[in-house]
Structure 1
Amino acid sequence: MTARLLDADIAQYVAAHYQLEGELTRLPGYCDLNLRLQTQAGQQYIVKVAGEGEAPVYLDLQNQAMNHLAKGGLPVPQVLTDTQGRTLGEIADSTGERFPIRVLTYLPGQFYADLPKGQGFPTLWQQLGEFMGRLDKGLSDFRHPGLNRYLDWDLAFGLEVCRDKLAALEGDRRKLVEGFLLQYQTQVKPFLSKLPAGPIHNDANDYNLLVNDLANPSQISGLIDFGDMCFSQLVNELAITCTYAMLDQRDPVAVIGTIAKGYHSQRALSEDELKALPYLICLRLCVSVCNSAHAIRQTPDNDYLLISARPVWQALEQFKQLDLAVIGFNLVAELLGIAQGGRSKASLLASRQSHFSRTLSLSYQEPLKIVRGRGAYLFDEQGRDYLDMVNNVCHVGHCHPKVVAAAQQQMAQLNTNTRYLHDNLVSYGEKLLGYFPDKLSVCFLVNSGSEANELAFRMARCASQSRELLVVDGAYHGNTNACIDASPYKFDGPGGEGAPAHVHKVMLPDPYRGSYAGYGIDTGQQYAADIQRVLADLNWQDKKPGAYICESVQGVAGQIVMPQGYLASVYEQVRAAGGICIADEVQIGFGRVGEAMWGFETQQVVPDIVTLGKPIGNGHPMAAVITSREVADAFVTGMEYFNTFGGNPVSCAIGQAVLEVIEEQQLQAHAKRTGDYMQAKLNDMANEFELIGDVRGLGLFIGVELVTDRDSKAPATAHTKTLIEHFKAQRILLSTEGPFNNILKIKPPMVFGLPEADRFLDTLRSGLKGLGQ
């Protein structure tokens, strides 16, 4: 151990081998024993004795790299040669153990770490970036066998290092780090190896950087300690530099931008490097806290580790509130002048009109070009954010890193079909069925809500031996032929041909605009009584119902919550007549209603068949049919059911990840809290604005019906259209619903929270005032 070395022995060695004499002063060091030597002539040098286990090849790497850079004019230490022409010698302690020893030139200056905390130094940051750019450019032609090594601090291995040491973190801190690791894994890791690589210093921290003046710093006067040198992606150098410089700064993004600009002026950065930079900075922060936590477990009394980790945790909390992709896009735009988004909107629109059907509609008078999503937000080609309040498909948030990572990992291993045994299919099926009543114990996996409903019709027909189908007026169940036939919204709408002979409409249980008002049991019974009309007609024709299908909360019919007792009464009547009851949960399943995982639970019923879609895969095309063993067995007719893509390993991995996120982030409870808050505020607003005729919904499935007259309930269709454009102008995406398009449809990603709710409410208020309300 270097602790056994005496200063007198070191002084004697240096005098004998370097012809240098003077006073030695010990300096702080991490592994090496560092001493400053001041000669009587006033010259200063650094004597470094390597710690235990330092291989000579890595010390030689440092020596040659420093001398290589010094020749290029960079202020880094130079290695002296001893009287025998060596840059590396050996010194023995009192026990005879030998240690490598070197003598370096001394660099004047003050440690960057001693600068006043929290103060901005834009000139210095620019110069720091330029310095590190020159350094990497200067190392571009340097080669040494010691460069090719594994280091815990090499960001190329940062993800693996953090995962190995995550166990040292607990609770919210562990979740915070895991979130950043998932972002890095999905956004950078797949293409990191394609980024430019070369020798890097790899440790431009605030104790390795020297500045010219603490009172008025304007220049980086030197860089020391090349002990972490390695061959890695060059942008990792910039990421590490930015990481330490931005600690304890109020605006870390400004620091990153200034340093990157300086670096880019010396070594040009690519678009991919700039996009990766924010993620790599956060990865370096994660590596730092994981290594610290691991070290604290081994040395729990080390107060220094706790103190040094504090600003790193603060930085992670700061970046948790930021969109890393937007930071990258802005860097690209500023440094490279490249606007995001590819082809112009005009070009895309012309191509759509030429090559796609005119039935493919676009939202808004001036269409949006959306290029990216994150959480509850979408971003256009200019990087502008839009609060998404209508996309219930990306259930746990756009591009949720855990879901993306699950897809990437499984896609890289295998994607096949259900003719082979695979853990993902069984594991996902077991987990999904665990959310349902025991009666619903069989799962079929398909690709879309439409396909799920069509399969449900087939199964119901086998179980009931009847194809007669009862549907709710105004409902929509999908875009296949069978689903269009089951959707009054389509067959009674433009281009429709009316109900087919086997399809029978029943009254829409609308407590606001329907024949019976209110949400109580009595109202539910009144609407349910309409079923008798259809059942009696079928009985007169010597027929029986095959199935009754109903969305558990009505969607396109107008975001309608049905009165209590409605489904219980209907199910009882349909089953008594021999029919099967289907709950369409394609829009509102997976906790959106807040008080329950499934909408049918709010009506205290258990269907015979449940269809799932949209949110099940967070945007990935998958869906499911859940049914009883009795119905599933009736479907076994000798005709095989096979679905090429349904239940493939990738889809199952995605579905599993979605369920895990719902649990981990407690999104069902979150939907209830946020939805209750919004409805309370909307009802307060209705007391102020006559245009608001009704507010209804469950959880984050809410409808706001606008009327020009509350007595007649005349739909305010034109006003609603104007409001939608007003929201768009304020970068909030909403849509309309209902037969008169006068209902604001609110069904955002489930991560939509109170800040987003307040933004919506403020914008609605300003819009209503703009309408003269």
Structure 2
Amino acid sequence: MSEQHSKPNVSPSQAADLVKKHYNLTPSQTKDLPSYEDQNFHVVTLDGGQYLLKIMNSEDSKDPTLFELQTYAMTFLEENGLPTQTAVKTTTGQGMFLEDLDCGYGRRKYLVRLLTYLPGIPIAKVPFSPQLLYEVGQTAARMDTILKEMKHPQLSVLRRKDFIWDLSNLVLLEKYMHVLDGDPLQEVVKTVLHQYKTFVAPKYAGFRKCLIHGDFNDLNVLVEANDGDGHRISGIIDFVDMHMSYYVHELAITLTYMMLEHAKPVDVGGPILAGWESVIPLNEEEKVCLFWLVLARLSQSLVLARYSVTLHPENEEYLTISCRKGVPILCRFLEMGKEQVEKVWFQSAAQFDSKNGK
């Protein structure tokens, strides 16, 4: 099946019918939300309840085990004090179900879940104070230390061998590089790939393994106003990219996406690093590879967004959000060089800790 035809295309009224049929809830409002390859709906019910209905693409729906693990992980994190969504049980007691739907290219099975709705707005929509960025780094590290303790008989499923968004699989980008033919950015990405293969890859033996969220970005971290004039984290959403990886990968991903909304992207690194290392101090191999791993994530975002647009040109605006903001950062960081960027990150992290008595 073509990837082009795997994304669900359900109308709000069809989504409302699914909620009525499987959860015995009556929606008063069902709003389609932007999504990369699945379909999400914000559902408000007559009794005032709020939920998120997730309809997975038909390719991923073929392996429900992966989503059972994601649901299990969200519940595990919530039970251990982190603000995550949990799955609502169907009328028959299931955490999810397969629905046979025709989305315009024949009948296919789509995995459907209804999740609790968390308060707050994406962190991308509020000013990034150093204290909030510190909390981002600290929360990401806390999340991974909790996930490290999670036990489940199917955990091996999360060793997703060919998962394209796993930083361990950066070289898989090579088969998509044709989307940059004729674009000077192709040479930029080739430079990152070369540094990854020659400098980063040999150091993997020193990286510490763990289970990571994998997409701790500026749209998947929710915040709400605190008692002062700032904000605090109120939710962590979207565990679709969860996989077995490394602590430093989670940190690199977090750094990358939080830079996208900041006027001075390099300044984001210090507070996030300080927050992260208050929970998980980096070892030497992780520290010296962080710069190239951030550029690796920016490269993934660029190439895979361009490729996705060839499959879903109608969704170009959403698919290229991160890519459009990330390209200037990728080029600027290469221009500054590894040594200068690391100097800013690690010196400002130390100053943040000193200033705040940490």
**What is the distance in 1 between the residues matched to 2:293 and 2:85?**
28
Q: Does the 8 Å CA contact 1:109/1:221 hold for their aligned counterparts?
A: yes
- Distance across 2 between alignment mates of 1:173 and 1:273: 27
Find 1:77's aligned residue among 54, 78, 85: 85
User: How far has the Cα of 1:198 moved from its partner?
Assistant: 1.1
Query: Which residue of structure 1 aligns with residue 214 of structure 2?
Result: 202
| 8 Å CA contact retained: 2:270, 2:347 | no
* CA deviation map 1:42-96 (0-9, x unaligned): 2211111222111212111211111111111111101122233221112233676
Please say if residues 271 and 336 of structure 1, whose CA atoms lie closer than 8 Å, have aligned partners that are also in contact: no
- Give the alignment partner of residue 37 of structure 2, picking from 20, 31, 42: 31
Change over 3 Å in CA distance of 1:179–1:4 after alignment to 2: closer
Contact 1:109–1:211 (8 Å) recurs in 2: yes
- From 138, 141, 159, give the equivalent of 1:148: 159
Give 2:146's aligned residue. 138
Q: Which residue of 2 aligns with 1:429?
A: none
Residues 232/318 of structure 1: CA separation in 2 closer, same or farther (3 Å cut): same
Change (3 A) 1:321 1:20: same
Mapping of 1:337-352 within 5 angstroms?
Answer: none
Q: TM-score, normalised by structure 2?
A: 0.83
Equivalent residue, structure 1, for 2:327: 313
**Deviation by residue 1:448-472 (Cα, 9 ceiling, x = unmatched):** xxxxxxxxxxxxxxxxxxxxxxxxx
Find the aligned partners of 1:210 and 1:335 in 2 and give their Cα distance.
23
Q: Which residue of 1 aligns with 2:176?
A: 165
Letter in structure 1 aligned against 2:165: W
Q: How does 1:288-367 map to 2 (within 5 A)?
A: 288-298=301-311, 303-304=316-317, 305=319, 308-328=322-342
Cα distance per residue 1:530-583 (max 9 Å; x no partner): xxxxxxxxxxxxxxxxxxxxxxxxxxxxxxxxxxxxxxxxxxxxxxxxxxxxxx
Query: What is the CA-CA distance between 1:219 and the residue it aligns to?
Result: 1.3
Q: Give the SS at the match of 2:292.
A: helix
C-alpha displacement at 1:16, in angstroms? 4.2
Structure 1 residues 187 and 329: alpha-carbon distance in aligned structure 2, compared to 1, 3 A threshold: farther
- The answer to whether 1:67 aligns with 2:75 is yes
Q: Does 1:175 align with 2:181?
A: no
**Structure 1 counterpart of 2:121, from 84, 94, 110:** 110
Deviation at 1:190, TM superposition (A): 0.6
Output the CA distance in 2 between the equivalents of 1:33 and 1:178. Answer: 33
Within 1, Cα distance between the matches of 2:329 and 2:179?
19
CA distance in 2, matches of 1:29, 1:333: 37
Q: Name the CA distance, whole Å, in 1 between partners of 2:26 and 2:325.
A: 41
- What SS does the corresponding residue of 2:239 show, helix, strand or coil? coil
Letter in 1 for 2:288: K
Shift in CA distance, 80/298, structure 1 to aligned 2, threshold 3 Å = closer
Q: For the residues of structure 2 that align with 1:221 and 1:299, how far apart are their CA atoms?
A: 32
1:317/1:216 CA distance change after superposition, 3 Å:
farther
Partner-residue secondary structure (3-state), 1:93: strand
What pairs with 1:488-503 in structure 2 (closer than 5 Å)? none
Is 2:57 aligned against 1:51?
yes
Letter in 1 for 2:150: F
Q: Alpha-carbon deviation of 1:326?
A: 4.9
Q: Find out whether 1:20 has 2:60 as its counterpart.
A: no
Paired with 1:227 and 1:11, the residues of 2 have a C-alpha distance of 23
Pairwise CA distance, 1:101: 1.4
Measured against aligned partners, the alpha-carbon deviations of 1:396-451 in whole angstroms (never above 9, x if no partner) come to xxxxxxxxxxxxxxxxxxxxxxxxxxxxxxxxxxxxxxxxxxxxxxxxxxxxxxxx
By how many angstroms is 1:213 displaced?
A: 4.1
Name the CA shift for 1:3/1:316 in 2 (closer, same or farther; >3 Å): closer
Instruction: Specify the alignment match of 2:262 in structure 1.
Output: 249
Give ranges in structure 2 of 5+ residues lacking alignment.
1-5, 352-358
Q: CA RMSD in A?
A: 2.8
Moved more, 29-38 or 203-212: 29-38
Q: Distance in 1 between matches of 2:164 and 2:300?
A: 8
Q: For residues 230 and 127 of structure 1, what CA distance do their matches in structure 2 show?
A: 23
Question: Closer, same or farther in 2 for the Cα pair 1:220/1:4, shift >3 Å?
Answer: closer
Paired residue secondary structure (2:99) = strand
Name 1:279's counterpart in structure 2.
Answer: 292
Query: Pick from 220, 223, 241: which aligns with 1:228?
Result: 241
Is contact 2:195-2:292 (8 Å) kept?
Answer: yes
1:235: how far off? 0.8
What letter matches 1:167 in structure 2? H
| TM-superposed deviation, 1:165 | 2.3
Look up the equivalent residue of 1:225 and give its one-letter code. D
Of residues 267, 287, 299, the one that matches 2:280 is 267
Higher helix share: 2
1:225/1:276 Cα in 2 relative to 1: closer, same or farther (>3 Å)?
same
Inter-partner Cα distance in structure 2 for 1:318 and 1:9: 46
Pair 1:111–1:248, CA change in 2 (3 A): closer
- The alpha carbon displacement at 1:321 in A equals 2.2
Question: Does the Cα contact within 8 Å between 1:155 and 1:280 map onto a contact in 2?
Answer: yes
Work out the CA distance in 1 between the residues paired with 2:208 and 2:13.
Answer: 47
CA distance in 1, matches of 2:269, 2:49: 37
Residue 2 of structure 1, CA deviation? 6.8
User: CA–CA distance in 2 between the matches of 1:101 and 1:303?
Assistant: 25
| Aligned AA (2:290) | L
Q: Distance in 2 between matches of 1:31 and 1:98?
A: 15
Q: 1:132: Cα distance to partner?
A: 0.5
Report the alpha carbon displacement of residue 152 of structure 1 after superposing the two structures with TM: 0.9
TM-superposed deviation, 1:98: 3.1
How far did residue 334 of structure 1 move? Answer: 7.2
Amino acid at match of 1:154: D
Residue of structure 2 equivalent to 1:128: 136
Task: Tell me the alpha carbon deviations over residues 725-772 of structure 1, each in whole angstroms, 9 at most, x when there is no partner.
Answer: xxxxxxxxxxxxxxxxxxxxxxxxxxxxxxxxxxxxxxxxxxxxxxxx
2-structure distance, mates of 1:302, 1:218: 31
CA distance in 2: counterparts of 1:104 and 1:294, whole angstroms: 30
After TM superposition, give the deviation of residue 110 of structure 1 in Å.
Answer: 0.7
Distance in structure 2 (CA, Å) of the matches to 1:224 and 1:307 = 18
Structure 1: distance between partners of 2:68 and 2:219: 22
Distance, in Å, in 2 between the alignment partners of 1:126 and 1:332 is 13
- Letter paired with 1:35: F
Q: Deviations over 1:653-686 (max 9, x none)?
A: xxxxxxxxxxxxxxxxxxxxxxxxxxxxxxxxxx
Contact 1:52 1:99 in 2 (8 A): yes
Within 2, Cα distance between the matches of 1:96 and 1:307? Answer: 31
**Which of 188, 201, 211 matches 1:189?**
201
Helix, strand or coil for the counterpart of 2:235? strand
Equivalent residues of 2:212, 2:242 under 8 A apart: yes
SS where residue 104 of structure 1 aligns? Answer: strand
CA pair 278-21 structure 1, distance change in 2 beyond 3 A: same
The Cα shift of 1:99 comes to 2.0
CA deviations over 1:471-497 (Å, ceiling 9, x no partner)? xxxxxxxxxxxxxxxxxxxxxxxxxxx
CA distance in 1, matches of 2:11, 2:95: 22
TM-score, normalised via structure 1 length = 0.40
